[in-house]
Structure 1
Amino acid sequence: MKLSDIHGERVFDVIADIIDPIANIAEDEKASAMFRREKLPEGMTAKQFVTQRARKALPALLKGHKGDIIAILAAIEGVSADAYKGTLNLVKLTRDTAELLTDDAFTALFISAQSENSSGSARENTEGQKV
């Protein structure tokens, strides 16, 4: 299931459940590198570039954020983290992760979390200003 497939009031619950895990990943420089928008280097194919980025970022993401990944995927699927872990295998993880990484709604939410972490919150930047 994709984040963009969730509708109605459940949207609020899912977003509330995935904010912390997304922020944890976004704050990790190595793990979040895979999600940053970067220009394709000259002389490199798109496949080579993606493979290079995945080779650097995926180990940090998978080893350092297992709980965060499970929390995100479980919330989107609408089950508890324990229930999700009970059904997890290589095929399920690959399929669910591929769906999530190709979901424009998730990508937008993740990129938003990354930019918040790098630029500070709007409240910090506008505190004390009168409208």
Structure 2
Amino acid sequence: MEYWEHESALRGGVSSDKQQPLERQFELFSRASAVLRARDLGSIICDIKFSELENLEAFWGDYLSGALLEALKGVFITDSLRRAAGREGVRLLISVDQDDYEEGRRLLLDAQEQQAGCWAAVRS
């Protein structure tokens, strides 16, 4: 979740009754940190390796079109997660690095060319 989405929880859930300014700041910081930690559902990092160029291209196309996001929402955003999030809601963000895609594409193209070269040598 982005920081600005936490604003309402911080405004409603963080207060201090300390009179000394420094004590008040430390208490507010501590309570705000606790609120943010409680709301942090974390990140999932997947390292996906493709052995076929067609599969990589399909994956990239689904990512660009938003179909990947929609498919993964059904997997990760469960009813229990929605209940736990309450009125704040849950948002799923998918990020695929374009440089990684391009490098994977280059490697798969190189592998296809090598395989084609091997087949040509076998046929000779």
TM-score after normalising by structure 2 = 0.32
TM-score after normalising by structure 1 = 0.31
